[in-house]
Amino acid sequence: MTGKKLFFASLAALAFVNCSSTPDKSSDTETKSENAKPIISSFETLTNAFKDKEGCFLLYDVTNKEYVEQFNPERCQLATAPCSTFKVPLAVMGFDSGVLKDENTKFKWNHKKHEISEWNQDQTAATWMKYSVLWYSQVITKRLGRAKVQNYLDSMNYGNHDFSGNIESAWLTNGKVPNHKRNSVQINAYQQVDFLKKLFASTLPQSQNAQELTRKIMYLEKTPDGWDFSGKTGSGYTGAKLDRRLGWFVAHLKKGTQEYVAVVTFNDKTSNEDLFGGKESKAIMIEALKARGMY
pLDDT tens by residue, 251-273: 999 999 999 999 999 999 999 97
Write the pLDDT tens digit of every residue in 12-53.
444 443 333 333 433 333 333 334 444 578 999 999 999 999
Q: How confident is the model at residue 274, as a pLDDT?
A: 84
Write the pLDDT tens digit of every residue in 90-134.
999 999 999 999 999 999 999 999 999 999 999 999 999 999 999
Q: Is 90 within 8 Å of 72 (Cβ atoms)? A: no
Q: Spell out the domains of the chain, with CATH numbers in brackets.
A: 39-291 (3.40.710.10)
Q: Examine the pLDDT at 294 and tell me if it is beyond 90.
A: yes
Q: How confident is the model at residue 56, as a pLDDT?
A: 99
Catalytic residue among 42, 84, 137, 230: 84
Q: Examine the pLDDT at 249 and tell me if it is beyond 70.
A: yes
Tell me if residue 21 is catalytic. Answer: no
- Mean pLDDT along residues 50-57: 98
Pick left, alpha or beta for residue 258 (phi over 0 → left; psi -120 to 50 → alpha; otherwise beta): beta
